[in-house]
Amino acid sequence: MELTPIGWFLIPLGIILFIVRPQWLYVMTLFFAPFSATSIINTGGGESASGFTPYLFFGFLFLLRECGSSIFRMKIRLFQSIKRPLYLLYLFAAVCLTSLVMPLIIHGRLDVMSSPGLDYRLVPLEYNRQIFNHALRLVFDIALTTVIVYRNLDLKSFYASLRIYISSGVFVCLWGLMQFCLYILRIPYPAYIFNNSASPNALAYGAVLESVGLLRVSSVAIEPSFLSRVLVGMLAICIVSVRGRAYIFQRHTDIFIIGLLFFTTLLTTSSTGYVGIAILLVMLLFIPSSLNKSTVASKILVLAVIFTVVISYFTVPLVTNILDSQLLNKNESGSTIERAVIIYNDLHYFLKYPILGIGWDCAPTHDVIIGMLATCGLIGLSAFLLLIGTILYKLKQNYYMSIRQDTRVNPSIMMYLCLSVTCVTYAISGGIQVPDFWVILSLSIAAVGIGHNLRQNMHVS
């Protein structure tokens, strides 16, 4: 076990906050959600090495402080507005936890990938301590999600949480821009600060796009695709805040943040990020504004961005090379081969054990759909789709109600777009075992509750 340089600072800070400023533990938990490559303690070595992230550390301390008073309040404040989403969340968790009996049943009769790279080894699937850790991590994620939901059932708290989360995004973007500038200037990048996880999957901060000789910005994330998924979700939130004039900070600040998020996503050169931006722009054309049903100016702006990208592709060699290598000719890259191998193996696991899969998080996955089929089977995927579908349906109900009532401030609009785009990007690339997904899910469920309360108040008045 090794304490990292930032661990020497954050661990004492967490203990102090736990004693004298417990409310700041929540702030630190949200802020460090995107820091997937950051570790305060590293354990193990080689392929089994792992890091204990600041998100887990502050989240654990936060839950310790909340486990008494908050859980008691939740028992007597079981709001009707969020009952169904929370029950479906617990159903999904129960299925995933149940699937962890599969390693006991399989007991070495199936070989699984040891890592998500092409240099993987096949190892027998057996019950071990790591599988027990998967269960603990899922319980932690569900518990933290529940507490975050209950802390954000009013507009003031909700927007305060958004400010924390988006502020983290701003820091992540600025750190990524510094990473890019240091590469251009040939100055060593201080990876030991925020890219210090011992996990072999967290070493992509030096990845370069060979076709154009540019650094693929990953900032504090494990790899560029992880970063792009986080930024696209934040971009959806900020665009809706400006479009609906329900600003997270102030108008000019929000517009600046949109530009910063968009530019940094481009610098990741991640196909996941590019597809996410494209889906976001298309969705904006069909989502009405909270102020009026035909926002001509915003639709013209979206079309102008799409037109600019198309023209740039045919006229700017740098744009042409990036889009060709990361989108159009993606099948020629090594990462595509890695992903194809993972998907092929996951399909094999699913076909062999289609009901409950081989166990939650028991094999490397590339995307939510195939990955979930492999690890928790048809039952797990069905429970997940029911959960997400119910949340999106209720958010859509809320934001159409806000349009009819001409209500400017309604979190349902921004979280509908954010959760939709996030799910699309995770369906393309990634699993949901990362903090940013659970933060977005918890804020989306909270937005369901806020929208329900706003509708009730409208009927009363």
pLDDT-above-90 percentage for the chain: 46
> 95-107 pLDDT, tens per residue?
999 999 999 998 8
3-state secondary structure 253-282: HHHHHHHHHHHHHHHCCCHHHHHHHHHHHH
Q: Which residue has the higher pLDDT, 383 or 412?
A: 383
What does 387-412 look like in DSSP terms, one character per residue? HHHHHHHHHHHHHHHHHHTT-S--HH
Residue 62's Cβ-side half-sphere holds a number of Cα atoms within 13 Å equal to 23
| Average pLDDT of span 44-49 | 68
List C-alpha distances in Å: 381 to 171, 262, 344. Answer: 34, 31, 18
pTM of the model: 0.88
> 268-297 pLDDT, tens per residue?
888 888 888 888 888 887 776 544 444 555
Q: Is 43 helix (H, G, I), strand (E, B) or coil?
A: strand
| Average pLDDT of span 353-369 | 89
Q: Which residue has the higher pLDDT, 51 or 402?
A: 51
Instruction: Give me the pLDDT at residue 304, please.
Output: 67
pLDDT over threshold 70, residue 322: no
Domains identified in the chain, total number: 1
- Per the CB < 8 A criterion, the answer to whether 123 and 112 are in contact is yes
Q: Is 216 helix (H, G, I), strand (E, B) or coil?
A: coil
Query: Cα–Cα distance between 34 and 18 in angstroms, integer?
Result: 22
Terminal C-alpha separation, the chain:
60
Strand order of the sheet with strand 50-52? 2-3, 41-43, 50-52
What domain range includes position 382? 2-460
pLDDT band for position 328 (cuts 50, 70, 90)? very low
Q: Is 311 helix (H, G, I), strand (E, B) or coil?
A: helix
Residue type, 24: W
The two tokens of residue 208 are 């370069």
Q: Which residue has the higher pLDDT, 372 or 305?
A: 372
| Average pLDDT of span 45-51 | 71
Instruction: Give me the pLDDT at residue 121, please.
Output: 74
List the beta bridge partners of residue 41.
3, 52
Instruction: Give me the pLDDT at residue 111, please.
Output: 85
Q: Which helix (H) or strand (E) holds 339?
A: helix 334-352
